[in-house]
């Protein structure tokens, strides 16, 4: 045991606050949100959102319990219990402007309702909600070392994880647009973008909206995800500007001659086969597909060895825990640079903006 100075000692009160208040109430919030999301409550609120007259600084959505019960077919007694807890934990407040009304608490619209907002954390809460559902499987895997097959997860869970990655993609695009002006200008003026591992298409949808003059291709090996992505493309009437294909990078490279200004690999690398030679082959294909002066964007959390915890932030560690069941393998800054050195690429620059970052990888 290491001796502590008096000023470094933690009190019983502090310790209770640390794991009981934050942990217990936080877990209750996850359960509340997950149930509300599955019941359609937050989607219903999104559909009736009203922006205040002052602009976009505050959004308020009010409703009555009777309204929710009627519109969503919910039992009033169950709903009453859910709303009591949601008010206690700060999701909602009593709205005194009308009789028996409830409204979203400050900033809750941005945090838990608007899925396209930069501050939306609903996907993260929803993801952890589903982790609770799979506790028996997790406990068994602790003893066997087995992994989940992501392709066998229920559609609802796969969509949630895809939206989580797309939320990170929003952040990456913002950092990209503020730090990579030359390549941003290319996309603004009709450049070519490829997203490898485009999944359900949520991230590619964000980029397509931001760069309406660019041409884009998304590829993924999950046929169901590709089908969903194509549904999004059809909804926006983006064909033939945007093409979604069910294929591996090796097959796409051998059958297509296009070279891209920007290639996006968003939260995909850690989920690929952990064998280094496999990942090296993937990056060999990406090298071939990228223009000589193009840019490969690799959005990955850097997670150090467990004995160097001060090098990582909470969100990175949380991401590893969320991905632990599918056999993911992450890099830290040093090991990622070493990996890039084993590929044809010549340069990997870490682009940072506060705690947000991505790797900008180039041929020269």
Q: What is the CATH number of the domain that holds 14?
A: 1.10.10.10
For residues 221 and 119, membership in a common domain is answered with no
The region of weakest confidence among 15-19, 25-29, 313-317 is 15-19
- CATH code, 185: 3.40.50.150
327 closest CA partner among 195, 113, 117, 146:
146
Please say which residue of 127, 143, 171 terminates a domain. 127
Please give the pLDDT value at position 236. Answer: 96
For residues 270 and 183, membership in a common domain is answered with yes
Is the pLDDT at 325 greater than 80? The verdict is no
Asked if 264 and 193 touch (Cβ cutoff 8 Å), the reply is: yes
For residues 20 and 109, membership in a common domain is answered with yes
The owner of tokens 């996309």 is: 187
Is the pLDDT at 173 greater than 90? The verdict is yes
Backbone angles phi, psi at 53, to 5 degrees: -65, -20
pLDDT-derived band of residue 328, with 50, 70 and 90 as boundaries? confident
The region of weakest confidence among 56-70, 142-156, 308-322 is 308-322
- Distance between CA 295 and CA 363 in Å, rounded? 8
For residues 116 and 181, membership in a common domain is answered with no
What is the per-residue pLDDT across 272-299, written as a single tens digit (0 to 9) for each? 988 999 999 999 999 999 999 999 999 9
Of residues 314 and 300, the one with the higher pLDDT is: 300
The answer to the question of residue 280 being in a domain is yes
323 closest CA partner among 72, 190, 148:
148
Strand partners, 60: 50
Segments forming the whole domain that contains residue 212: 135-362
Is the pLDDT at 4 greater than 60? The verdict is no
Of residues 89 and 102, the one with the higher pLDDT is: 102
What is the per-residue pLDDT across 210-237, written as a single tens digit (0 to 9) for each? 999 999 999 999 998 999 999 999 999 9
State mean pLDDT over 29-58.
Answer: 79
Q: How many domains does the chain have?
A: 2
The answer to the question of residue 154 being in a domain is yes
For residues 109 and 147, membership in a common domain is answered with no
Alpha helices in 40-121 (DSSP H): 41-47, 65-72, 76-88, 108
What is the per-residue pLDDT across 147-166, written as a single tens digit (0 to 9) for each? 877 777 777 788 888 888 88
For residues 104 and 246, membership in a common domain is answered with no
For residues 93 and 233, membership in a common domain is answered with no
Is the pLDDT at 356 greater than 80? The verdict is yes
For residues 81 and 224, membership in a common domain is answered with no
For residues 240 and 269, membership in a common domain is answered with yes
Is the pLDDT at 1 greater than 60? The verdict is no
Contacts of 43 (CB under 8 A, 6+ apart): 37
Backbone angles phi, psi at 291, to 5 degrees: -60, 160
- Indicate the SS3 state at residue 316: helix
- Distance between CA 258 and CA 262 in Å, rounded? 12
What are the contacts of 229-237 at 24+ separation with CB within 8 A? Answer: 229/198, 229/199, 229/200, 229/201, 229/204, 230/201, 231/201, 232/200, 232/201, 232/202, 232/204, 232/205, 233/201, 236/205, 236/208
- Is the pTM of the predicted complex or chain greater than 0.85? no
Asked if 361 and 345 touch (Cβ cutoff 8 Å), the reply is: yes
The answer to the question of residue 48 being in a domain is yes
Please give the pLDDT value at position 5. Answer: 46
Question: Strands, E, within the chain: which ranges?
Answer: 50-51, 59-60, 62-63, 92-95, 101-104, 192-196, 215-220, 242-246, 260-266, 290-299, 347-353, 356-362
> Mean pLDDT score of the chain, rounded to an integer?
87
For residues 47 and 191, membership in a common domain is answered with no
Please say which residue of 127, 162, 188 terminates a domain. 127
Is the pLDDT at 256 greater than 90? The verdict is yes
The answer to the question of residue 153 being in a domain is yes
For residues 87 and 217, membership in a common domain is answered with no
For residues 153 and 93, membership in a common domain is answered with no
pLDDT-derived band of residue 139, with 50, 70 and 90 as boundaries? confident
Please say which residue of 98, 127, 156 terminates a domain. 127
| Percentage of the chain modeled with pLDDT above 90 | 54
pLDDT-derived band of residue 3, with 50, 70 and 90 as boundaries? very low
Of residues 220 and 327, the one with the higher pLDDT is: 220
The answer to the question of residue 1 being in a domain is no
- Distance between CA 276 and CA 331 in Å, rounded? 12
212 closest CA partner among 255, 242, 252:
242
């Amino acid at each position: 045991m290491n001796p502590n100075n008096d000023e470094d000692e933690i009190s019983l009160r502090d310790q209770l606050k640390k794991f009981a208040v934050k942990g217990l109430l936080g877990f209750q919030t996850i359960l509340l949100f997950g149930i509300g999301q599955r019941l359609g409550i937050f989607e219903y609120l999104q559909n009736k959102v009203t922006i205040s007259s002052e602009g976009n600084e505050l959004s308020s959505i009010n409703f009555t319990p009777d309204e929710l019960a009627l519109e969503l077919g919910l039992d009033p007694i169950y709903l009453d219990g859910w709303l009591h807890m949601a008010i206690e934990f700060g999701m909602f407040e009593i709205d005194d402007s009308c009789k028996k009304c409830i409204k979203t608490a400050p900033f809750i619209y941005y945090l838990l309702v608007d899925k396209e907002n930069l501050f939306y954390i609903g996907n993260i809460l929803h993801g952890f909600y589903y982790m609770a559902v799979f506790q028996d499987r997790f406990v068994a895997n602790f003893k066997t070392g087995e992994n989940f097959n992501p392709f066998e997860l229920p559609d609802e869970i796969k969509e949630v994880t895809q939206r989580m990655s797309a939320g990170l993609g929003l952040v990456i695009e913002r950092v990209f647009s503020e730090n990579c002006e030359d390549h941003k200008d290319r996309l603004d003026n009709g450049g070519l973008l490829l997203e490898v591992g485009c999944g359900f298409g949520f991230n590619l949808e964000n980029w397509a909206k931001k760069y309406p003059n660019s041409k884009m291709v998304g590829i993924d090996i999950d046929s169901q995800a590709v089908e969903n992505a194509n549904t999004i493309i059809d909804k926006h009437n983006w064909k033939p500007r945007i093409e979604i294909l069910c294929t591996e990078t090796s097959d796409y490279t051998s059958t297509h001659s296009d070279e891209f200004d920007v290639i996006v690999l968003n939260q995909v690398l850690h989920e690929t086969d952990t064998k280094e030679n496999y990942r090296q082959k993937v990056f060999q294909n990406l090298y071939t597909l990228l223009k000589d002066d193009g840019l490969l964007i690799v959005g990955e959390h850097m997670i150090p060895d467990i004995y160097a915890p001060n090098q990582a932030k909470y969100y990175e560690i949380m991401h590893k825990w969320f991905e632990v069941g599918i056999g993911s393998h992450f890099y830290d800054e040093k090991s990622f640079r070493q990996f890039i050195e084993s590929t044809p690429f010549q340069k990997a620059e870490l682009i940072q903006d506060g705690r947000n970052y991505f790797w900008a990888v180039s041929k020269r």
